[in-house]
Structure 1
Amino acid sequence: MTSPGDALPLGRRALMAGVAGSVGAVALSTGTAQAQPGAPEAAKRRYPENWPAQEPYGRADAREELWPRDDNSFVLPLELRPRDEELGRVWMRDTYVNCFEVDGRPLYVATGTTRVPGLTAAGPWNDGIFVWTARSLHGPWKLADTTKIRPDAERGKVWSPEFVGENRPGRTVVAPWQEYWYDDGQFGKRGNAWAPELHYFRGKWYLVACMGDHSVKVGSFVLVSEGGVEGPYRLIEGNYDKPFGESFIGGPSWIKPGAYFHIDGSIYTEGKDAWLVLHNHLYAKFRPDMEDIEPATNLPLFQQKPYTPEPYLEGAYVFRHGGKYYLLHAAWDRTSIDAYGSPRYAYEAGAAGRTQYQYDVIVAVADRFEGPYSERWTAGVGAGHNNFFEDRDGELWATFFRNPAAGYWADPSRVDDAAVPGVVRVEWTGPKGNRLYVKR
């Protein structure tokens, strides 16, 4: 999420609470009709309607209107690396895109989880984090120019466990817990970075990411650039010894006790302040120097209305629009057959008769960052583990990647079209509805 200070100047069809003229402009961007002249500004546009909540709470909305489609979305034409030539596009999970004003001009950034040649996924190891930039959402998208920093390294790679040799006294690029390692033969080489995000805050670039399930320690960390978006990046002080937060028992069986922390870290900024957001519903405020969070442990929780029972959620992200706070989570929609023989869709834990279908984005809204948040709704089918952002013209978008791990996009007939850097238009239901949906 970008704060008003980091994003493009307000007034370009961007909506903030109490800015009546902007209300009309954002409504126009959704293609809605204009009211009669002389009507109050906020009433001049008709907003899309909220769909009724799925009952009981926790049911998923699987209607195709909420899918990224050819008429509301596209895959970013990212510059290919040599490894991408055979596939003809970039293989990417956890797609992240945003737009910032830098030196008076809009700059779009894109990043995500990628894999190395020869592997079918981003584990048990990958080779770090790549960044692409563009002046328009439609491109051209170019790899960040890292050649002056590392002339002999692959262009666009801004951080990797491979860069451990760049550590110097007082400057850590790769901490010991982020280095590659080798197990007893179960996986061999291990260590992978997941779900990166880029944020431009107070004139500096921050990259938040996560060391994945095959790492020495699994959890979120932050890098700060000592130059431009291309780096060079170093690790902040709070992550020298471990990821953010406290360790707990969790994750796959091969993760050693004490090695699992909170994954999928995100950053939310507003004004001169910044917060860390973690996937297990936690948050913490960054110190003014952005070198650590406070408190470092016993982090507070968002005030949410959980499902009963609450399934496993991940990919938490906070986005502000219209003076409201939107909390995003990724959840698997599992299908089953109800007592009448009809399909049933719900966000619930795996059980007999429950089949993973789509990896959705579910959203709740609040008046305050910490909550309390409303009941959640399905904002996009198959668009889980994403972010919302505003483009240079104030139009709203979400990212998606089509999760190939299970469900719909794991089907052999579709898997070649999965793991993509996709973006889809988002619509807002106005100051009374206060919901965000994939453009229906």
Structure 2
Amino acid sequence: MTSPENESHVGRRSLLTGVAGSLAVSAVLPGGIAQAAPAQARPAHADSTAPAAASGRYPSNRPVLEPYGRADPDADLWPRQDNSFILPLELRPRDKARGKVWMRDTYVNCFVVDGRPLYVATGTTRVPGLEAAGPWNDGIFVWVSRSLRGPWRLADTTRIRPGAEKGKVWSPEFVDENRRGRTVVAPWQEYWYDEEFGKRGQAWAPELHYFRGKWYMVACMGDHSRKVGSFMLVSEGGVEGPYRLIEGNHEKPFGDSFIGGPKFIEPGAYHHIDGSLYSEGDQAWLVLHNDLYAKFRPDMEDIVTTTNLPTFRQTRYSPEPYLEGAYVFKHGGKYYLLQAAWDRTSIDPYGSPRYAYDTAGDGRVQYQYDTVVAVSDSFEGPYSQRWTAGVAVGHNNFFVDSGGDLWGTFFLNPNFGHWSDPSRLADAAVPGVVRLEWTGPKGNRLYVRRPDGSRTVSG
């Protein structure tokens, strides 16, 4: 549900030998991340941060790490049993052997529709028989619920496509639904084939937004697609669709093409990925990785500026590593810019572990896929120095539940680092949510909710 401030909607990838012991976190991780309790067990807003805010007590800001760019791997910032759970999403036939949905880029939000809270969940999923969501997947699924703790049901798409897999709201498979004046799948989004990969084309990182009484889906065609980049769909019905492609994406993704991505991407095919939508009042903006934005036209059929998009004013690292998953969230009158960054571990000259949002290099090992956040008084910036808001929760979004409490999503990246270890893969790629905390109007930081001992009087 979108408030005038979008703040929110009720009231958007192996650890070094010897480093693991220095963290002392093994005791707080899965089985540290729990499945959700039954829906009637307790309201989603139990243990709210509101009493602390009302009494003038807020969590303290964590110390600033020097030099700028150092990562904070502290156990307090991890999802744990006491602050997080895995959403009990309705299983599709493909999910039953695993017992939970395989998901990357988990997205969850809460909107008021017809006077009632409606929770939505989506993310990047894979097809049976593939270990990842590539070189192809079969589109975008949506789940809905009246409570964060469920029951979560697949969106009822059976009246739109009788006999098709329930909950699938868009796919390159739907190209036969194109009609004159109504494009569902553009030519650049269709499946294609080559000798190296066979079938190619996948949808990544979807986000679902309810804006001015309509449902919008922002997503990305991934690295194996004809063109790689972000696009937007609009529903002609309810949350279940049917969805069509907006006019501005009939020929290409948003923004300019540039050299990027893996070597197998054809020249001119790579555009900016991980698109997100930010709305405030009756206006909306596109947010692209890792620093671009553009205002949507009033009719929401394209962005106002289609080339040479403006950039957020950020306090960059030096050197600036690869960042992705940009998402803007407004809370307490401030704008928070979220981005996903790899914490790369190495050994410093004194033999101690070093954690930093570095560029790739010899001796630097991908450890955790974190969320880094910066704050600003305005949407465009300038944004403050970034801080580690959560360990292993990268490529996520922040949202507010129907009780006014803050949450973030996570999926625990199985591609590299800590969660790629075979002993942990069963706990990775999950639709997780974690409680957040705000450090108040003086601190102006958001973190994964830490133990209550971190609270101090701060205004």
**TM-score under structure 1 normalisation?**
0.92
Distance 1:266 1:5 in 2: 16
Contact 1:2 1:199 in 2 (8 A): no
Distance 2:307 2:375 in 1: 26
Alignment of 1:21-420 (within 5 A): 29-30=48-49, 44-183=55-194, 185-420=195-430
Q: SS where residue 58 of structure 2 aligns?
A: coil
- Per-residue deviation at 1:195? 0.1
Q: 1:104 to 1:5 in 2, by over 3 A?
A: farther
Q: SS where residue 371 of structure 2 aligns?
A: strand
Taking only the aligned residue pairs, the percentage that are identical comes to 77
Distance 1:48 1:223 in 2: 39
Q: SS where residue 181 of structure 2 aligns?
A: coil
* 1:4 to 2:4 alignment: yes
Q: SS where residue 47 of structure 1 aligns?
A: strand
One-letter amino acid of the counterpart of residue 390, structure 1? V
Distance 2:187 2:299 in 1: 23
Count of residues in Structure 1 that have an aligned counterpart in Structure 2: 415
Contact 2:231 2:275 in 1 (8 A): yes
Q: SS where residue 118 of structure 1 aligns?
A: coil
Q: Return 5+ residue gaps in structure 1 as ranges.
A: 11-25, 35-40
One-letter amino acid of the counterpart of residue 289, structure 2? H
Contact 2:10 2:401 in 1 (8 A): no
Distance 1:208 1:375 in 2: 28
One-letter amino acid of the counterpart of residue 316, structure 1? A
Contact 1:8 1:106 in 2 (8 A): no
Distance 2:5 2:96 in 1: 39
Structure 1 moving runs of 4+ over 3 Å:
1-9, 31-34
Q: Return 5+ residue gaps in structure 2 as ranges.
A: 12-44, 451-459
Distance 1:342 1:285 in 2: 46
**Deviation string for 1:383-427 (max 9, x for gaps)?**
000000000010000000000000000001001110000000000
- Per-residue deviation at 1:339? 1.3
**Deviation string for 1:200-250 (max 9, x for gaps)?**
000000000000000000000000000000000000000000000000000
- In structure 1, the residue matched to 2:23 is none
- In structure 1, the residue matched to 2:454 is none
Distance 1:414 1:202 in 2: 42
Q: 1:353 to 1:9 in 2, by over 3 A?
A: closer
Q: Let me know the Cα RMSD of the aligned residues.
A: 1.4
Distance 1:51 1:9 in 2: 28
Contact 2:107 2:123 in 1 (8 A): yes
Tell me which of the two structures has the higher relative contact order, counting C-alpha pairs closer than 8 angstroms and 6 or more residues apart. 2
Q: SS where residue 73 of structure 2 aligns?
A: coil
Distance 1:311 1:5 in 2: 31
Q: 1:133 to 1:197 in 2, by over 3 A?
A: same
Contact 1:331 1:347 in 2 (8 A): yes
